Amino acid sequence: MNNLLISERMISRLIVFSLVFPVIYVVLYYNELALFRFYPLVGELHLNIQPTTFGPAMTYYGWLVIAAIVGAVVAFAVPHRWALRLWAGWSWLVPLGATLFTFIYETRWLLH
Amino acid sequence: MYSMWSTILVVTHGIFAVGLIGALTHQVIALWSTAPTPSDNFFARLRNVRSGSYTNAVVILYLLDFALGAVIYATYRIEVRPYLEDIQFYVAAGSFETKEHLAALGLGLLPAYWLFWKAPGFSAHGNERKYITLLLAFFVWWNFLVGHILNNIRGLP
Amino acid sequence: MIAFWDLVHALLAIGLLGAVTHQGLSVWRKPAPARAFIDRFRAVNGGGYANAVCVLYVLTFALGSFIYPQFVLDVKGSLIDYGMRKTIFLFQLKEHVAVTGLCLLPVYWHFWRTVPLTEDVGVRKYLTTLLMVATWWNLVVGHVLNNVKGLV
């Protein structure tokens, strides 16, 4: 293990970020909640849904930005002593749960 | 007509993915095999690597590959996805949806992945390191295979 | 089914690319402690890759030959229709480079496995580099072509 100069506080923030990000991301795509939409046909970002003449809307970037912002805010808001109490196993169980949920959710494409 | 730029970007995206697959596969095999024994065998050398040394390369390659994927996604959305829906190839369109979600989940996993490999005080968490690395390798392999198949069905113009 | 064989062809090519790139960069490396990632990438025992490179090359080539007729029917025809002569030129080069690499394999294997590693270092170096460049060329061109029109 490298002896890197990284504070314990920053370590706990990064762990919390990795735990919050997948949860928020799943909630966002499940509920189609996006901060903004990108319309690739016209190359424009919009906060509101645009008419069909704008072409297909992409919500992906909007999900990523919100998940990253919420993850970062929670990571900085959670007190260090709370973060220390987290069980290390959550670090892979939470993303695994999000992965399984994703596969189950996307089976909707098989039902067309 | 095919644009030079989207071809360059999609090929570069593929090459970064190849590097990522190589690094993560070495790392996973090394993690899940027993203690290294000196051998001239090709497969023994495949697993007898210093797995920790791949971590920074994996993080950098993942970020670069993700960024490139995010750039070409817009072209996919207007050129490929409508085509898949037109020919009612919903399994292919759905596979891409899983690819985009797993790519995002992998991005969120990167800080934890890096910490469990590199941060001081994490050397005792061997199991967490193992499962996180396995999960990331699964994401990368899945995304590569789905990307390749989709590219077969219809490339980026 | 052709898409499946195309995918296997690509996966074998990736294995080949990894092995021949490790080996190809190792022959250009001067002995020194490997600290940076790229140094560790190159600091491998090149001789140990020769058999794997030969086996992977032959398998990749065989699968490529197997899917080639379908390529001629489905892809090359479309490229001609679109007037994409540069792309056809790239594939023609890929095809010839692949055969050249195949012809190199016996001599490549000989210089890695039967000649002592302290002798003919230059020959081994250039043969391996040639095979590495051939593999990279074919992978990149294959990827470009697949992007233009894939096998389905």
Q: What is the spatial distance between Cα A54 and Cα A42, in angstroms, rounded to a whole number?
A: 6
Residue A46 bridge partners (DSSP): A37
Contact C18 B22 (CB under 8 A): yes
Contact B122 A92 (CB under 8 A): no
DSSP string across chain A: -------HHHHHHHHHHHHHHHHHHHHHHHHT--S-EEETTTTEEESSPPPGGG---B-HHHHHHHHHHHHHHHHHHS-HHHHHHS-TTHHHHHHHHHHHHHHHHGGGGGG-
Q: Does B45 or A27 have the greater pLDDT score?
A: A27
Q: pLDDT in tens for each of the 112 residues of chain A?
A: 444 667 888 888 999 999 999 999 999 999 999 889 999 999 999 999 999 899 999 999 999 999 999 999 999 999 988 888 888 899 999 999 999 999 999 998 888 7
Contact B149 C48 (CB under 8 A): no
Q: Residue A27: inside a domain, yes or no?
A: yes
Q: Residue A103: inside a domain, yes or no?
A: yes
Residue A44 bridge partners (DSSP): A39
Q: Measured between beta carbons, which residues in chain C are less than 8 angstroms from residue B148? A: 7, 10, 146
pLDDT tens, position by position, C4-38: 899 999 999 999 999 999 999 888 877 767 677 77
Contact A1 B93 (CB under 8 A): no
Contact B18 C17 (CB under 8 A): yes
pLDDT of res. A2? 47
Helix (H) or strand (E) holding B6: helix B4-32
Average pLDDT, chain B: 88
**What is the chain B residue with the closest CA to A89?**
B128
Q: Tell me, yes or no, if C38 comes closer than 8 A to chain B by beta carbon.
A: no
pLDDT tens, position by position, C38-96: 777 777 777 788 999 999 999 999 999 999 888 888 888 888 888 888 888 988 899 88
Neighbours of A16 (CB within 10 A): 23
pLDDT at C151 > cutoff 80: no
pLDDT at B18 > cutoff 80: yes
Three-state secondary-structure class, residue B157: coil
Q: Measured between beta carbons, which residues in chain B are less than 8 angstroms from residue C18? A: 18, 22
Q: Residue A1: inside a domain, yes or no?
A: no
Q: What is the spatial distance between Cα C21 and Cα C53, in angstroms, rounded to a whole number?
A: 10
Q: Which of C22, C137, C143 would you mutate first to test chain B, the one with the most B CBs within 10 A?
A: C143
Q: What is the 3-state secondary structure (H, E, C) of chain C?
A: CHHHHHHHHHHHHHHHHHHHHHHHHHCCCCCCCCCCHHHHHHCCCHHHHHHHHHHHHHHHHHHHHHHHHHHHHHHHHHHHHHCCHHHHHHHHHHHHHHHHHHHHHHHHHHHHHCCCCCCCHHHHHHHHHHHHHHHHHHHHHHHHHHHHCCCC
pLDDT tens, position by position, C112-144: 988 888 888 889 999 999 999 999 999 999 998
Residue at B23: amino acid letter = A
Cα dihedral across residues C101, C107, C113, C118: positive or negative: negative
A85-89, B61-65, B119-123, range with the lowest pLDDT? B119-123
pLDDT of res. C27? 86
Q: Residue A3: inside a domain, yes or no?
A: no
pLDDT of res. B2? 53
C26 and C63 in contact (C-beta within 8 Å)? Answer: no
Q: Residue A55: inside a domain, yes or no?
A: yes
Q: Residue A100: inside a domain, yes or no?
A: yes
pLDDT of res. B1? 45
The C-alpha angle with vertex B131 and arms to B128 and B132, in degrees rounded to 5, equals 80
Q: Which of A24, A86, A91 would you mutate first to test chain B, the one with the most B CBs within 10 A?
A: A91
Q: Give me the number of domains chain A comprises.
A: 1
Q: Residue A71: inside a domain, yes or no?
A: yes
Helix (H) or strand (E) holding B19: helix B4-32
Name the residue among C149, B69, B120 with its Cα closest to residue A6.
Answer: B120
pLDDT of res. C82? 85
